[in-house]
Each structure stands twice: as structure tokens, then as C-alpha cells.
Amino acid sequence: MSASCLEGHRHGPLVFRRWLGAGALGTVYLAEYPPTGHRFAVKVLHPHLAARPDVRQRFYSEALALRELAHPHVARVLDARPGPGGLPCLLMEYADGESFSRLPMPLAPVEAVELLTQALEAVEAAHARGLMHWDLSADNLVLTRDAQGARRVKVLDFGASAILSASLSPEERARGMVVGSPAFIAPEQWSGETVDGRADVYALGVVGYLLLTGRLPFGIGRAGELAPPEPHVLNPCVPPVLSTVLLRALASRPGERFPDARTFREALVHCMDPRTRAAERASALVDDVELLVDIDIVLDEDEAPTHQQPILLLPEMRVPEGNVTIFGQSIPADGATPLHQALRAVAHAEPVLEAPAPRVAAPAGLEVRLRVDGGWVPVAASDVSVDGFFAAWEGTLPPLAARLGVELSYEGRTVTCEGDVVRHVTGDEARTWGVAAGAFIHFAEPEAALRQWVAWMLEESTQAQRPEPRPDGELARLLARAAESAQDPYALLGARPDADFEEIRRRASAALRRLEGFRARALPSSQRRALESLRGRVESARCTLGEPLSRAGFDAVRGNLSGLARCVAAGLPDEEVEPLRHAFLSARPGSEARARALFTQGHALEVQRALRAALSRYADALALDPLNVAWLRHYQELRQRTQGLVPSMPPVLHSSPRADPSPLS
């Protein structure tokens, strides 16, 4: 059965309108209920899987369990029954949005944490019902927008991994086949060990790392016990404490990760909460990060969300020669998604297993001792990180893999732990590099408190070496002006409420160029954070006002009829506006009936040629039901025919107010 043969077919009262994508389990279609235009997603089980009674039974039993999972961040499963040709079909909520793999990366830390915590809320709710995902990836996490225009993450494909796993034969299991997206499955899934909810914690750790750095922590899979680069090393905007949280989620052993999704989520929220700033500094955590304004992301109607297909992996499978495919999955040469770009970057890179020469001096005042043969030996340390350090060593080096006691002292506090010898720098290498001989020591099973303390020590030593710059006067004046328009994106851009979309985009681009000039200046940390927050607000204003659908939702709440008229004139389809209108009216019971009565009065007045009074009634009706596109068109046409007969209304309802200068100009 071809991927597109069901388009136009019926499934009960629904009609399959468009093919959305296909995965290892089935093909997904956009289905519509014609009388109302409501849209759903329908997953049709592949015929070769539907032919197996055990898979069909597992398909329906998983659907029965998932019907009880109702959460704002889960794409709801509504029903499961036979469809066209008798193939089992899963009726689901249609998550109209953009998959995480297609987002521009890296994201700002606050934005990445916001998206990740929403996904964790969904996983937390599922785990509470005993439902595991086990195939979370950047392709089945979708960023949508709710009826009020707020961003909302939706998690797709709960139950798919369980159904695919049930389809494996005993021979396939014996050969080591596993189900999952290679870059996101946990080490215990690769090795065939017992898997629980901590595998989902690991997968979301990979997602968070990707969002913050634009890179995958381990490439396509995972090699041994090597730790990935810390996110704040790859992206200086990431607070070290956030790096610590993500690396704990990525621990190779399940027992070293967060015990559940809730603990992971709380750790993320805590480390980004500005109210914990003083406590974090006292306990070796970094400064807080200011919250940025949400940035709405709009998906083009013709662009269906992509889904990374779960892949059956054999242990003997290797990356093919030539930059063509990854595990049989094609990588486009042009226009690749950020996830595919990250995969391609690591697919053919030779693994770098050796550490470079030690170069970075230890923080001034740090004293390190190692316990060797029952006694404590002071050593000169360098290249200190939350993972370990390099210890200069005279004489015979301790054997590789030896476990030594470690004592670190800094500013009156001493911590003890254990460390493993992971690499030697021999005398020959030391002479070549011009450094001391010694060994790299990695902390053995470090607790979060130790990593946080080391991160704090490194941050404190860096700050002590770098004096804080003086505040920039020009930026201070600009920030003060921008603060006056904090809640109004039109005022922030200096745009009229009826500005066309080209003007909105031009003003936003000019504002961003203006702010970009400050980023290269030496700024105190507080001003730099305020600058990044302001850039986020400008980006949010551009996204909110620069696209018809998002602007329509904003202008409806604001009562800006002239802005709504711009959205309609830009070609915004009625079927896209209707869900927004339904949500707007649902939140305001009785407003639709009152609006209809006012519009009827206006029509009667228009028939009597009392045009000024008619326009006033129409404006009152639209104030209650601003997203009624037919009314809005009629109102605008009548105003154009009766120039000079503008009724008395609030200023925001006038079509051409004077633009104020942007506070960023």
C-alpha cells in the first residue's frame, strides 16, 4: 500500500486530506471532519505489521492505555479502530507545529529550559500512569501554539516503541536488535539491559544538550565512558550549573541520573530561577539568567512536521563510507535540518580519545593532594574541570585505571573524593609539548555537589582575574527607554498599529542590528544579561507581529481592528482564523450573542443610510468578536466608502495613528 494512496479516503466521518509522514510503525495522515473543519492526525499501521495478530493486539491495547493519558503537553490519543482496508488506525490530536529538530540552534538557555520542562511535565504525567516512551527524540517533540497564542510543547508517539519492540522475533532479539532513534536511546537500551523511566530522562538530556549547543553529546551513539564536552564550554551563554544538570541526565549508568522526570524538571527550574541567585552563589552555583519574552514559532501550513523514523539497529551495523546516509537514513545535501547537520558532523569524524596537552593553569589558591600507597602527596594541578584535572608527577606514574584518593582545598574549604587515572603524559610527550609529565585524573562517580563546587571555584577564579567593566552609558539610556514599552511590541518597534508586515520586519531587523553593535563592547554582567533579554523581546515582537496568524491572535486580545485588517489583507485563510476565534469566544461567554445583536443593529442602520451610527455599532460588535473575518471585511469596506464618517472609538481601533519613534532607534 503506497504512502499516498489513502489521501481522499474516509475513516468514519473523517476524510484523509494530506499525507504527513511515515515511520517504522505506520503512516500518518491529516484528517478533517468536513462539517466543522476540525483536524486530526490518524496513524495507519503498516500492512506488514497489521498482518500479525500479536502486533495488532498490542496496537489496540497500547491505544486503550493511552486514551487515559490527558495532558496539555501530550498529543492526545482519542480512539483506535479499523480504518480503510481494515488496517488498524489510531486517531490522535493534530499537533500543528515545528519539531525540535528544525528549531534554529543553539537556543537561549531560558528558552531551551522552558521547552524541556514542558516535555518533562508530559513524561512525568505518563510515567505516573506506568506509560514509558523509550523513543523520545528531537523529531517527536513538537512546538505548537495554543488557542491564546502561547507556545506549547507536544510529545508524540507514546506507545510506538512498545509496539515495535513487540514485533521483534526471538531471533532478532538474540541478534541484539533494539528499537529507537540512535542518537537518543540510553546505553542500557543499546546493551539490552532492563529499561525503566530513566531511559526517557536520558533521551531528554540529549535533547536539552542539542538545543543548547546545536550538537549531539555523543554523536550517533555512545563510546565507552567518555563524558561529552560541557555545554557551557561549547556555548558560553549556558550557565555552568545548567551544564551540570544536563550531564547528570546523560550519565551512562541509570543510577547516576535523576531518578525520575520530576526531579530532572525541578533541577532545571531551580538552576534558572532568578530568586535563587544569592543562594546559588553561596553554594557555588552561577549567576541567574533573566527570563526572556516568549517567541512564537509559526509553521507554514504546507510544511508538515518531520519525524525521525525509529530504526532497528544491529550491533554489526557501521556508518557507511561517504557522506550519504546514517543507518540507511538519507541526509540532504542542502537545507538539512539542524539535527541532521549535527549527525552529519559526527558521522565520519574519527573519535578523539586522547586528551590534549595540559595548558590551562589551575585557579590561584587551589591545593591538590593525592592519596598514593597510604600517604597524601601534594601535586601541581592544571586543566581543572568538573570532570577532573591534570596532576604533574615526578617519577613513576601511577598505573592507568588506578583509583586514587583526591583532596581539593580552596578558600578555606576542603573536599575529598576519588579519581581514576585515565591518561598518562609521558616524559617524551612532556618534552615535546613543553609541559610537565603527569597523569589526567577523572573524578570517579562525582556527586552533583562536587561538580557544583568545582564549577563555582572556576567561576570565582575567572571573575577574580577579570575586573568588571564599567556600565555603558549609551546602552543604559537605551535600556531605560525600552523598559517603558516592555508590554507593547508595537511601541518597542516604534510601529503603528496598522503597520504592514514589511514595515514590521524592517523595524525589527533595524533594532536587532542596533543591539548587535553593543554585544562586542565590554559590558558588566548585569548589562549583558539585560541586553540579551531585550534582544529576546525584539525577536518576540518580530515573531508575534511579523506573521499574520500570530499577529491576529495578539491584535484580537488588544482590540486592534486595523492590525487585524492587515492580517486578513495579507491572505490569512478563514479556516486558520476560526480556531483562534473559537478560543477567543470560549473565554468570553455571552460575547458572541451580544456581538451578533450589535451587528444586526448596525446592518439595520446601514439600510436606513445612518452610516455613522452603523459604523459605531459594527465597531462595538467587533470589539466583542474581533476575529469574525466576514464582519471585519464588511466594516473596512464601509469605512472606505464613507471617508470622513469615522465613529468615535478607542484610538487603537483607528486605522492610521501616527507612529512613534522606536526606543531602540
Active site residues: 135
CB atoms within 10 A of CB 543: 19
Q: In this structure, what C-alpha cell is assigned to residue 272?
A: 534558572
> What does the alpha-carbon distance between residue 255 and residue 198 come to, in Å, rounded to a whole number?
9
Nearest to 140 by CA among 75, 208, 233: 75
Nearest to 422 by CA among 455, 445, 389: 389
Burial of 548 from C-beta contacts in 10 A (0-12 / 13-18 / 19+): buried
> What does the alpha-carbon distance between residue 46 and residue 35 come to, in Å, rounded to a whole number?
29
> What does the alpha-carbon distance between residue 483 and residue 332 come to, in Å, rounded to a whole number?
44
> What does the alpha-carbon distance between residue 327 and residue 397 come to, in Å, rounded to a whole number?
42
Helix (H, G, I), strand (E, B) or coil at 32: strand
State which H helix or E strand residue 126 sits in.
helix 109-128
Nearest to 386 by CA among 575, 273, 240, 541: 240
State which H helix or E strand residue 202 sits in.
helix 198-213
Strands 367-372, 403-410: pairing is: antiparallel
DSSP, residue by residue, 204-219: HHHHHHHHHHSS-SST
> What does the alpha-carbon distance between residue 244 and residue 250 come to, in Å, rounded to a whole number?
10
Return the exposure string of 132-152: e unless at least 16 CB atoms fall within 10 Å of the residue's CB, then b: bbbbbbbbbbbbbbeeebebb
Long-range residue pairs from 342-346, CB within 8 A, at least 24 positions apart, any chain: 342/210, 342/214, 342/215, 342/216, 343/183, 343/216, 343/219, 343/220, 345/215, 346/215, 346/216, 346/219, 346/220
Inter-residue contact 24 to 312 (CB < 8 Å): yes
Nearest to 32 by CA among 9, 60, 64: 9
> What does the alpha-carbon distance between residue 102 and residue 111 come to, in Å, rounded to a whole number?
15
Q: What are phi and psi of 20, to 5 degrees?
A: -100, -35
Helical packing angle, 561-569 and 629-641, nearest 10°: 100
The single-letter DSSP state of residue 639 is: H
Q: What are phi and psi of 134, to 5 degrees?
A: 70, 10
Q: What are phi and psi of 185, to 5 degrees?
A: -80, 150
Nearest to 305 by CA among 153, 151, 44, 97: 97
Inter-residue contact 627 to 580 (CB < 8 Å): yes
> What does the alpha-carbon distance between residue 637 and residue 615 come to, in Å, rounded to a whole number?
11
Report whether the peptide linkage leading into residue 489 is cis, meaning its omega lies within 30 degrees of zero: no
